């Protein structure tokens, strides 16, 4: 009984981090209906910049956090400009056929956006590696390494307080953002413009501005997530970009891409499954579980297939 | 109240379009359209498929940018204005195929329609007024708009446009694809809005229904206006009768 409970607990802690990572990806996908493959690389380059100023300038930790978040937002703005802004479904370029479609399907521009975001991924990752060529780079560590022992009645349960804090922060942020999307006027305009761009124009919403704002928010969140996760490890490696994209994508897909609250459940589920896989199959099993889960999502013919992987639009 | 406004007010030109041209890439959909709509009246634009009617409506709403020409609404130029500005000036479009927000609830669709307004109390009372006008929407208030029937979506699209409190309502083929009973309902809504003093500019294929509500007609063919006249003149014009009133029954429209 006890080891199972401990595994669930560990899984939930890790899941909180996955959810935080997937949040920005899900938000931008919900708004643009396009997958940003440069998402992980954006977080990685921003983290490398943070690590670089930490190593050379010895700046305080909070300034590293601000740098990572600001850099992620700026790099994200560059990614949007390069990959997504010009691939938008603005009807004045699309002609009559684009107008009737509620959400543009897989058209040429979507493929161009995907391919160019892959190119930018490579570019950003290379930039980061050139900036700090070593495999291991120090990152300001906030890890408390304080264990909190709970006597559950079945035995002692060990919880790392810093990880618990991260998971709680993720949950609070996601639930708060979800509620804001569902209730506020701006939240409504984000969902409406994701739902139908032409209709959003017709009711007077500044669609292009809303899109940029959602993209920037998603990238800022990737910076926040990267800082939070890395500050627990105290180091950053060139694998970080790939790791962010993969874990974030699986978490976001499990919860339905585009659903904000879904990414929390998706992240937690991924964390728990990974914890069990690691206990049963060892460290390799952990990675195997991630890929197996991704494979299962895509291959098994779920009944409400669309609603499982893709949310119908941007949802709170 | 039945058309109680003074005659001069009824004669005022509200919307004046001159030499408007819009193209999709190399295809010139509008080739210099000139027409006007008077306030307090229902103006109807007829024309076959592909004549450029929907292009005209999207250009008026600011979604498409014209190559040349001018659109004056209550004397102010609208060409070059963002759609948001046009909605704020008091002109709203009920687009072809309704284009409701499918993933938002009925209430959220109405709230979105009032996006440019800031008077929360007014918005709330207008939503209640819409539910009075369209009782079926009230029954579906928390339902997603994408799950509504075609007629209900059309009513929602009209209600959403009305939420911006327009003085001129543009409607693009409000009856297309709807059952005859629902079409009659839509036209009774048009009549009711007209009685309440809203000016309407309606694109319609259903000339029989349009003849009952509109005071002025235009006919558009191949991107140009080819006829302008009163309902009587339209009914007398044998060319139009043969081409549009007769054909309407003989040949069902293919879905777009």
> From CA A267, how far away is CA A140, in angstroms rounded?
25
> What pTM, to 2 d.p., does this model score?
0.85
pLDDT tens digits, A115-155 = 899 999 999 999 999 999 998 998 988 766 677 777 767 67
Residues of chain A in contact with residue B154, where contact means CB-CB under 8 angstroms, are none
Domain A2-92+102-308 - what CATH class? mainly alpha
Contact between B103 and B151 under an 8 Å Cβ cutoff? The reply is no
How far is the CA of A292 from the CAs of A95, A211, A248, A262, A299, in angstroms?
A: 42, 33, 15, 20, 10
Residues of chain A in contact with residue B93, where contact means CB-CB under 8 angstroms, are 202
Tokens of B15: 């919307």
Mean pLDDT confidence for A225-232? 93
ipTM: 0.88
Interface check B61 vs A, CB under 8 A:
yes
Burial readout A60-72 (b: 16 or more C-beta within 10 A, e: otherwise)? eeeebbebbbebb
Per-residue pLDDT of chain B (256 residues; tens, 9 = 90+): 444 444 544 468 999 999 999 998 788 899 999 999 999 999 999 988 888 999 999 999 999 999 999 999 999 999 999 999 999 999 999 999 999 999 999 999 999 999 999 999 999 999 999 999 999 999 999 999 999 999 999 999 999 999 999 999 999 999 988 999 999 999 999 999 999 999 999 999 888 888 889 999 999 988 999 889 888 888 777 766 655 654 544 444 555 4
Only one residue has tokens 């560990």, namely A10
**Interface mutation target, options A88, A101, A199, chain B, most CBs of B under 10 Å:** A199
Closest CA to B51 of B66, B73, B33: B33
From B63, B97, B256, residue closest to A91, measured CB to CB = B63
Find the distance separating the first CA and the last CA of chain A, reported in whole Å.
36
Q: In 3-state terms, what secondary structure has residue B14?
A: strand
pLDDT tens digits, A208-222 = 899 889 999 999 999
Burial readout A87-112 (b: 16 or more C-beta within 10 A, e: otherwise)? bbbbbeebebebbeebebeeeebbee
What is the DSSP secondary structure assignment for residue A123, as one 8-state letter? H
Give the pLDDT score at A145: 66
> From CA B20, how far away is CA B148, in angstroms rounded?
36
Contact between B205 and B173 under an 8 Å Cβ cutoff? The reply is yes
Please count the CA atoms within 13 angstroms of the CA of A227 that sit on its side-chain side: 22
What is the DSSP secondary structure assignment for residue B255, as one 8-state letter? P
Residue of chain B minimizing CA distance to A191:
B104
Contact between B153 and B145 under an 8 Å Cβ cutoff? The reply is yes
Of A158 and A92, more confident: A158
Contact between B190 and B200 under an 8 Å Cβ cutoff? The reply is yes
How far is the CA of B138 from the CAs of A155, B106, B130, B134, in angstroms?
A: 56, 8, 8, 7
Inter-chain residue contact B108 with A192, CB threshold 8 Å:
yes
Of A158 and B57, more confident: B57
Contact between B240 and B225 under an 8 Å Cβ cutoff? The reply is no
pLDDT for A111 beyond 60: yes
Q: State the smallest CA–CA distance between residue B121 and chain A in angstroms.
A: 14
pLDDT tens digits, A39-79 = 999 999 999 999 999 999 888 999 999 999 999 999 999 99
From B87, B101, B103, residue closest to A204, measured CB to CB = B87
Inter-chain residue contact B103 with A185, CB threshold 8 Å:
no
Where are the domains positioned within chain A? Answer: 2-92+102-308
From B63, B86, B108, residue closest to A198, measured CB to CB = B63
Contact between B166 and B137 under an 8 Å Cβ cutoff? The reply is no
Interface check B113 vs A, CB under 8 A:
yes
Instruction: Please identify among residues 220-239 of chain B the ones whose CB lies closer than 8 Å to any CB of chain A.
Output: none
- On average, the pLDDT of chain A sits at 86
Strand order in the sheet with B199-203: B91-94, B168-172, B199-203, B42-46, B216-221, B224-229
pLDDT tens digits, A244-273 = 999 999 999 988 889 999 999 999 999 999
What is the DSSP secondary structure assignment for residue A239, as one 8-state letter? T
Burial readout B74-84 (b: 16 or more C-beta within 10 A, e: otherwise)? beeebbebebb
> From CA A229, how far away is CA A163, in angstroms rounded?
9
Inter-chain residue contact B58 with A91, CB threshold 8 Å:
yes
Q: How many CB atoms lie within 10 A of CB A151?
A: 8
CA geometry: angle A92, A96, A98, nearest 5 deg: 80
Mean pLDDT confidence for A298-302? 72
Interface check B57 vs A, CB under 8 A:
no
What is the DSSP secondary structure assignment for residue B142, as one 8-state letter? T
């Amino acid at each position: 009984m006890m080891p199972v409970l401990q595994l669930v607990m560990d899984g939930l802690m890790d899941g909180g981090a996955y959810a935080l990572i997937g949040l920005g990806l899900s938000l931008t996908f919900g708004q643009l209906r396009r997958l940003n493959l440069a998402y992980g690389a954006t977080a990685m380059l921003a983290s490398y910049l943070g690590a670089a100023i930490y190593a050379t300038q010895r700046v305080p930790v909070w300034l590293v956090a601000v740098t990572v978040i600001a850099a992620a937002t700026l790099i994200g703005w560059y990614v949007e400009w390069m990959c997504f802004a010009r691939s938008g479904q603005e009807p004045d370029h699309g002609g009559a056929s684009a107008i009737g479609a509620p959400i543009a399907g897989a058209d040429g521009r979507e493929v161009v956006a995907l391919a160019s975001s892959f190119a930018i991924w490579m570019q950003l990752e290379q930039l980061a590696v050139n900036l700090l060529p070593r495999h291991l780079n120090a990152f300001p560590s906030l890890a408390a390494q304080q264990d909190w022992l709970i006597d559950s009645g079945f035995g002692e349960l060990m919880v790392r307080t810093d990880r618990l804090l991260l998971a709680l922060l993720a949950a609070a942020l996601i639930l708060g953002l979800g509620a804001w999307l569902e209730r506020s006027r701006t939240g409504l305009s984000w969902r409406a413009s994701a739902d139908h761009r032409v209709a959003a124009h017709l009711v007077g919403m500044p669609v292009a501005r809303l899109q940029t704002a959602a993209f920037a928010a998603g990238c800022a969140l990737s910076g926040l997530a990267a800082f939070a996760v890395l500050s627990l490890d105290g180091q950053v490696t060139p694998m970080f970009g790939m790791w962010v994209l993969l874990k974030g994508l699986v978490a976001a897909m499990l919860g339905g891409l585009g659903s904000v609250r879904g990414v929390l459940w998706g992240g937690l589920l991924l964390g728990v499954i990974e914890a069990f896989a690691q206990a049963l199959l060892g460290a390799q099993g952990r990675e195997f579980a991630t890929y197996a889960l991704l494979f299962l999502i895509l291959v098994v013919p779920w009944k409400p297939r669309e609603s499982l992987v893709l949310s119908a639009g941007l949802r709170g | 109240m039945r058309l109680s406004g003074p005659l001069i007010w009824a004669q005022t030109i509200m919307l004046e379009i001159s030499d408007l041209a819009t193209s999709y890439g190399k295809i010139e959909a509008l080739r210099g359209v000139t027409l006007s709509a008077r306030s307090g009246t229902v103006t109807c634009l007829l024309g076959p498929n592909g004549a450029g009617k929907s292009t005209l409506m999207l250009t008026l709403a600011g979604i498409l940018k014209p190559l040349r020409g001018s659109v004056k609404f209550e004397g102010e130029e609208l060409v070059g204005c963002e759609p948001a500005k046009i909605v704020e000036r008091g002109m709203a479009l009920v687009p072809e195929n309704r284009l409701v927000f499918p993933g938002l609830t009925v209430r959220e669709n109405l709230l979105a329609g009032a996006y440019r307004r800031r008077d929360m109390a007014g918005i709330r009372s207008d939503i209640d007024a819409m539910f009075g006008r369209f009782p079926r929407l009230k029954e579906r208030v928390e339902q997603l708009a994408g799950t509504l029937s075609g007629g209900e979506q059309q009513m929602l699209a009209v209600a959403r446009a009305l939420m911006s409190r327009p003085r001129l309502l543009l409607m693009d083929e409000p009856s297309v694809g709807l059952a005859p009973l629902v079409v009659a309902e839509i036209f009774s809504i048009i009549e009711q809005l007209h009685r309440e003093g809203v000016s309407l500019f309606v694109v319609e294929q259903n000339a029989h229904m349009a003849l009952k509500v509109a005071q002025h007609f235009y006919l558009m063919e191949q991107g140009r206006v080819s006829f302008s006249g009163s309902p009587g003149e339209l009914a007398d014009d044998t060319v139009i009768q043969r081409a549009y009133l007769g054909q309407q029954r003989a040949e069902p429209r293919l879905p777009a």
